[in-house]
Chain A
Amino acid sequence: MTTEPEDSQPSRLHTVISTAERLAGSIFILPTVLALLLLSIFPLLASLYVSLARFKIARGGFTLNFVGLDNYQKLFLGSERTHFLGSFAPSTPVSWIVFGVVAVALAIFLARYLLKARVSIGGLIGRLFLILGLGGLTWMLVHTLWSGGRLGTVSTTLVYVFVGIFFQYILGLSLAMLTVQNLPGRRFFRVVFLLPMMITPVGVAYMFRMLTDTSKGPFTPIWQALGLVDFSWVNNAWGARTAILIADIWQWTPFMFIVLVAALESQPVEPLEAATVDGANHWQIFQHITWPAILPVSMTLILIRLIEAFKIVDLPNVMTNGGPGTATQSLTYHAFINWRALDLGASAAVAYMLLFLVTFFGMIFVNLIRQRTVETL
């Protein structure tokens, strides 16, 4: 009988140890999970509730009264509709043609998928979602971009994102190609080209506000010489948007530039030398060797900028105060205005729509990257 405690002691210890072994993984990961929940998931859920509620001052504090989809209804159908979606011009033959072309392209895209051997429910839902989203956005753009229509904050944001990123990539790539050549002063210019990215966006905005001021800015003599002293960028919706786009492109081209320089320099030299020996010209080398080599980096780069560019707010806020009218307001600026007025529900609703758009375009782009990668492999 004296052996019993001796037997049970190691057995209990073994149980404790094995339990600890079993739980160790979960417990070690718990702090990270908790941090993620606290910093990301809970705020997301809380802001979702706020988007379904109305903030009211109450004695000693505030209340958040549940109002259902009222804040979203206000954005799509109510008093915020023109601000959010824009003012729709009547349909014209041109708008029908453009929309028709996009609709046919989307229909072909769906048909090609359905004719494939493997069709999944998830894939089908995803594609229908994509078609509805792109179709809706196309409908909105063709009716707000045309004469008689007016862009809302959604369309303005899309203009900033796609026009801005297009020029940032083209300029970034051109500058990167230039500075990887064996030219004198290339190291100096690499540093100089990076400077705009290091300036705070508000600083950039104030600088461009001064530069675009035709009556007091440093370029006033030039405007005067061109007879443009009575012209102002901010009196015209597209003039103001262009000024903001120029500032945005100036600030973010260096980001494209530096990553593309790294991508270009990390290319293997052998294929380039072989192509040169074989008599390929510069364009052929770029098209068949350089471009495929930097494509994965370029896709990732564009995805990062895409996500970031949707959040533009500093430039329109400082350069134009969102004007003329609401012409230069982005979605973030729209949410900011509502937040400033303590219309927290409407602000959260706009922010959720922004999240939806970023996710929508992000997913399209990720799928595009995946498809490219598969094709390359």
Chain B
Amino acid sequence: MNSKSTLVKLLSILIIFGVLTTACGAPAATEAPPPTEAPPVATEAPATEAPAATEAPATEAGLMFEGVTVNLLTFVGPQVAEPLQRRGPDFTALTGATINVITVPNSELYQKALTDMATGTNAYDAFLFAPSWIVDFAPAGYIEDLTPRIEADAALEWDDVAPFFRDFNSYDGKVYSIPLDGDMHMVYYRIDSLEEAGLEPPKTWDDYLNVAKTLHGTDLNGDGEADYGSCISKAPAQQSYWWIWSIAAPYIQSQGNTQGTFFNTEDMTPLVNNAAFKRALEVYKETGPYGPPDESNQGVGDTRGLFISGRCALTMDWGDIGPLAIDPANSKVIDKVGAIVTPGSTEVLDRETGELVPCDATTCPYAVDGVNHAPYASFGGWAGAINAAADEKAKDAAYAFLSYMAQPEQSNADVVVGATGYNPFRISQFEDQQAWLDAGFSQAAADSYLSGIKDSLNSPNMVADLRIPSNQKYIQVELDRILAEYVAGDLTTDEAAQQLYDAWEAITEEVGRDAQLESYKATIGAK
């Protein structure tokens, strides 16, 4: 035997064993904590440590959050992420904390946030996401209860946040997210085009279809080309599910916001396999021929672009259109845009029979001129939450940053700029029009825009977005898929309504009917 080769083999074996032993036996210093050991929700009040971020919180040793990095996850910009990225360096100058904004596509945000926290990876310290998700995250102890911090944070001016948004960012009496944005669907129309055609802004969805049909194919922006009567985002895996609900809401809900539009509050059966939702599906589909040819593949960015370039007579959107329409760099419809509460219906659902019945004092107690409106606060606005398992310093810095972003000084400037994607959510932002006028709104445009949002928010028949566990699956998966198949012509109206009913029932059964019912009733204030 060659002794040299034997020696080499022995040495190699020793080295391999050494490496394996070291690898297996090394302390898991960087290992993520096991899921069951995720730290509990902080209940102690660190409120006194929350910095008033607008003041320079310099200490003798330097800035308060010197060396702290906050990893904040949100959706791909430019809107929504842009203000965070723009104001991050300002916040660093004030506090020393570095704000690292990480973006993912909107459709992946939920699972990214959830898997990060559920698996104990905790790569993100804070999130800017849909506040409706806190019903999934808060009971699991994933996100921080912000109530004590908010109570001690005078600079945030929490009482100035509109009551609906305060409530929508709370769960079980505690605040879990801070709104930076207030979302409410409205219908926008071209004042000049409707006036020329002798049409009134639509009050009902039938009116909407009539206006769209009349103006479709006419030249709305003077470029000699035929334009569109209605532009509504209908692309799958984007936001179409919110649009259909804005149409369905006035057909389904008429007895005030505690009646519920998504489920029957008696037994949690979905309110979709009935004449009201089927009529909404038909209206939604009927808008298609009056829109751009590829509307079924258009996201909200596409329809916004078309509307502000003057190519659409009508559109339905959140508050973003208002500021975008006055942007001289991009808009061809400056001072030509009116905003109204989403159209309503003169017929509403009779829950006993599942049929539509005419509006009267009993069936539609909140009707205006015989029309039942149910403005829908779809999505609820982007809101910031903090990972309960984040490092304490990172939590403090994250809270300070979210507070800083939401404080009037920053927020008032951001909500008047369309590109930010942030819409008004503070009472003062609706009452004081000066910021809007300074931003370039005419008095008429500001009146129209702000009254549209205010009327929606003040409606006693307003509809809040679904906020029960697995709401993402109910809405963004099943409703999205079935709606896409319906628009594509793969399903009839009856089939779509039945399939949605079955799909939602399956989720309810999976999650637990009683728990879901209790949760649903709690979120809409039903008894």
- Give me the 8 closest cross-chain CB pairs, A-B, nearest first: A61-B35, A325-B488, A324-B488, A325-B485, A232-B294, A60-B38, A232-B293, A234-B297
Min C-beta distance of A280 to chain B, whole Å: 52
Residues of B within 8 A of A229 (CB): 293
Q: Is the CB of B111 within 8 A of A17?
A: no
Does A230 count as interface, using CB distance less than 8 angstroms?
Answer: yes
Min C-beta distance of B481 to chain A, whole Å: 6
Does B118 count as interface, using CB distance less than 8 angstroms?
Answer: yes
Residues of B within 8 A of A322 (CB): 236-237, 484
Per-residue B-contact encoding for A215-259, CB less than 8 Å = 1, 0 else: 100000000000001111111010000000000000000000000
Interface residues on B, range: 35 or more
Q: A339-B111, A340-B107, A340-B110 are in contact. Are A60 and B37 (CB under 8 A)?
A: yes
Q: Is the CB of A321 within 8 A of B236?
A: yes
Binds A, one of B5-13, B161-169, B363-371: B5-13
Does B71 count as interface, using CB distance less than 8 angstroms?
Answer: no
Residues facing B in A5-31 (CB within 8 A) are 17, 20-21, 23-24, 27-28, 30-31
Does A214 count as interface, using CB distance less than 8 angstroms?
Answer: yes
Min C-beta distance of A290 to chain B, whole Å: 44
- Candidates A62, A215, A231, A337; contact of B477 at CB < 8 Å: A337
Residues of B within 8 A of A30 (CB): 16
8 A–B pairs (Cβ distance < 8 Å), ordered by A: A24-B9, A30-B16, A54-B510, A57-B114, A78-B506, A83-B481, A321-B238, A326-B481
A→B interface (CB under 8 Å): 17, 20-21, 23-24, 27-28, 30-31, 54, 57-62, 78-79, 83, 87, 150, 213-215, 229-235, 237, 320-327, 337, 339-343
Residues of B within 8 A of A59 (CB): 139-141
Residues facing A in B451-494 (CB within 8 A) are 469, 472-473, 476-477, 481, 484-491
Residues facing A in B104-126 (CB within 8 A) are 107-108, 110-111, 114-115, 118-120
Q: A17-B1, A31-B16 are in contact. Are A60 and B140 (CB under 8 A)?
A: yes
Residues of A within 8 A of B38 (CB): 60-61
Min C-beta distance of A58 to chain B, whole Å: 6
CA distance A325 to B481 in the complex (A): 7
Q: Is the CB of B503 within 8 A of A79?
A: yes
Q: A20-B10, A232-B294 are in contact. Are A343 and B488 (CB under 8 A)?
A: no
Q: Is the CB of B6 within 8 A of A20?
A: yes
Count of A-B contacts judged by CB separation below 8 Å: 141
CA distance A325 to B296 in the complex (A): 9
CA distance A229 to B226 in the complex (A): 11
CA distance A314 to B35 in the complex (A): 32
Residues of B within 8 A of A79 (CB): 502-503, 506
- Candidates A20, A214, A320; contact of B13 at CB < 8 Å: A20
Q: Which residue of B lies closest to A56 (CB)?
A: B511
Q: Is the CB of A341 within 8 A of B476?
A: yes
What 10 additional pairs, Cβ within 8 angstroms, besides A57-B136, A61-B38? A24-B9, A59-B139, A234-B296, A320-B297, A321-B297, A323-B297, A324-B297, A325-B485, A326-B236, A342-B114
Min C-beta distance of A200 to chain B, whole Å: 16
Residues of B within 8 A of A214 (CB): 293-294
Residues of B within 8 A of A235 (CB): 293-294, 296
Does B235 count as interface, using CB distance less than 8 angstroms?
Answer: yes
CA distance A343 to B110 in the complex (A): 12
